[in-house]
Structure 1
């Protein structure tokens, strides 16, 4: 599905990842893209990296020319963006436009109220989108039709995978995949530290730890096996891995991960 008339408000890292994936996959042409930015350096980055796109500081005009608007700004700026006026006092016209928000914690009810209609989609991407391995959750208001949903999926799948959920479930998405990369980075760091403690050079330990996490994730995805089954396959009776697993269980690593997801989801709920 080809995307036309996209305006992105906010040109930061996540916008660069998502739009970069769309351009690379061919579902979007640079000539169909307008980016609204605040700083000259941001505008320069977009024109240098994606020749053919339009950059502007005029939100009202950019929205007026759009079919689809992506709100790629911080949550506390959403209200300011939705009520913006130009120098002549004209307000942005959100009617008849598909609005896609990647602002964390801002629910559909709030977004639809500010937009004045219900053709609104809320998305929670994550930072691995920057390397084409994102895991995004999204939910749609009841004014969004099947074609809009397919368009959003096409956009998100250009940088990874996309799962449609309900609005209340978006807090859980935040806990699992939105915040999840940080948990995995911590695990990689800890594995490397353990390797150093056991006698490996730092660079070697980090290289092995990183590839181990990457390989394990790929096995889960490509074999379709439950991770518990794959774990059991590594644990030989009386062997080194089961000894390690016993230590992890004694230190409640499994419980700590579950609680981390719940804490992130709860915090997302509070912010909303």
Structure 2
């Protein structure tokens, strides 16, 4: 099935679903008229209508009108939704359950997603999904055991980066730079570093070493970060976030 022929449905119309829909629309993968979103009330549906998408209060209507369906509800709501829509799921449907840890809050700005195919999904369905989701940023197919790790690394990792950016900018403010300028430079520094990682494929340790002049400013600064156990602290953060994601999945 070609992406242009898809009729895409969203059961749930919150920020997760909205971020993905905006990415698909921006990339021209699916026309707005081919997107249908459902929610219990109009609270989250107005923005969808403004984008030209169709809306409904009936989850079953999404199944009836769509070939690709994203389940974008809160985890505690999902079991009830699955029970409701199960009778309407047919062999022509591709159903994707979205997990909070897929960084959907940043999808419209090149986020990162991973997905795992179910036993009924083949190579064609996986290729189609990756094609669609890649319009929103990096998308990789992974074993199911990686899903919670991705939450700890990327889903929660956005907050780690914001915290680091804040500290980076405040260091410059401490030394006399205006806050707004410091924040813009910090953001551009992070963006530039991320682009080099992606474009070169080099290990971060090598890239870090490449910018360290013997006896220079960078190596002195890195020594201070090592004293503060920055790497161990970040590794611990990814670990506890991953473990928390595992605990939530079992609740």
TM tier, smaller: over 0.9
Q: Higher helix proportion, which one?
A: 2
Tell me which residue corresponds to 2:189: 212
- Tell me which moved more, 259-268 or 14-23: 14-23
- 1:9-20 aligned within 5 A: 9-20=11-22
Asked whether the 8 Å contact 1:11–1:72 carries over to 2, the reply is: yes
Question: What secondary structure does 2:81 align onto?
Answer: helix
Deviation at 1:247, TM superposition (A): 0.6
Tell me which residue corresponds to 2:106: 128
Tell me which residue corresponds to 1:48: 50
User: Cα distance 1:201–1:125, how it changes in 2: closer, same or farther (>3 A)?
Assistant: closer
Deviation at 1:9, TM superposition (A): 0.9
Asked whether the 8 Å contact 2:63–2:88 carries over to 1, the reply is: yes
Question: What secondary structure does 2:88 align onto?
Answer: coil
2:123 to 142, 146, 152: 146
Deviation at 1:125, TM superposition (A): 3.9
Tell me which residue corresponds to 1:79: 79
1:233 to 196, 207, 210: 210
Q: Give me the whole-angstrom Cα distance separating, in 1, the residues matched to 2:120 and 2:191.
A: 39
Q: Give me the whole-angstrom Cα distance separating, in 2, the residues matched to 1:168 and 1:45.
A: 35
1:201 to 178, 193, 209: 178
Asked whether the 8 Å contact 1:18–1:155 carries over to 2, the reply is: no
Q: Give me the whole-angstrom Cα distance separating, in 2, the residues matched to 1:125 and 1:251.
A: 28
Tell me which residue corresponds to 1:165: 142
Q: Give TM-score scaled by structure 2 length.
A: 0.92
Tell me which residue corresponds to 2:95: 99
Runs of 4+ residues over 4 Å off in structure 1: none
1:7-60 deviation line (CA, Å, top 9, x unaligned): 1011112212211221222221222211102222422211112x2x32100112
How many pairs are equivalent?
246
Asked whether the 8 Å contact 2:20–2:104 carries over to 1, the reply is: no
User: Cα distance 1:16–1:159, how it changes in 2: closer, same or farther (>3 A)?
Assistant: same
Q: Give me the whole-angstrom Cα distance separating, in 2, the residues matched to 1:43 and 1:254.
A: 42
Q: Give me the whole-angstrom Cα distance separating, in 2, the residues matched to 1:223 and 1:242.
A: 22
Question: What secondary structure does 1:157 align onto?
Answer: helix
Asked whether the 8 Å contact 1:127–1:181 carries over to 2, the reply is: no
Segments of 5+ residues of structure 1 without an aligned counterpart are 86-90, 106-123
Question: What secondary structure does 2:29 align onto?
Answer: coil
Asked whether the 8 Å contact 1:138–1:163 carries over to 2, the reply is: yes
Deviation at 1:183, TM superposition (A): 0.6
Q: Give me the whole-angstrom Cα distance separating, in 1, the residues matched to 2:241 and 2:84.
A: 31
Deviation at 1:92, TM superposition (A): 4.8
Q: Give me the whole-angstrom Cα distance separating, in 2, the residues matched to 1:33 and 1:263.
A: 37
Q: Give me the whole-angstrom Cα distance separating, in 2, the residues matched to 1:254 and 1:246.
A: 12
Q: Give me the whole-angstrom Cα distance separating, in 2, the residues matched to 1:219 and 1:192.
A: 21
Q: Give me the whole-angstrom Cα distance separating, in 1, the residues matched to 2:107 and 2:152.
A: 17
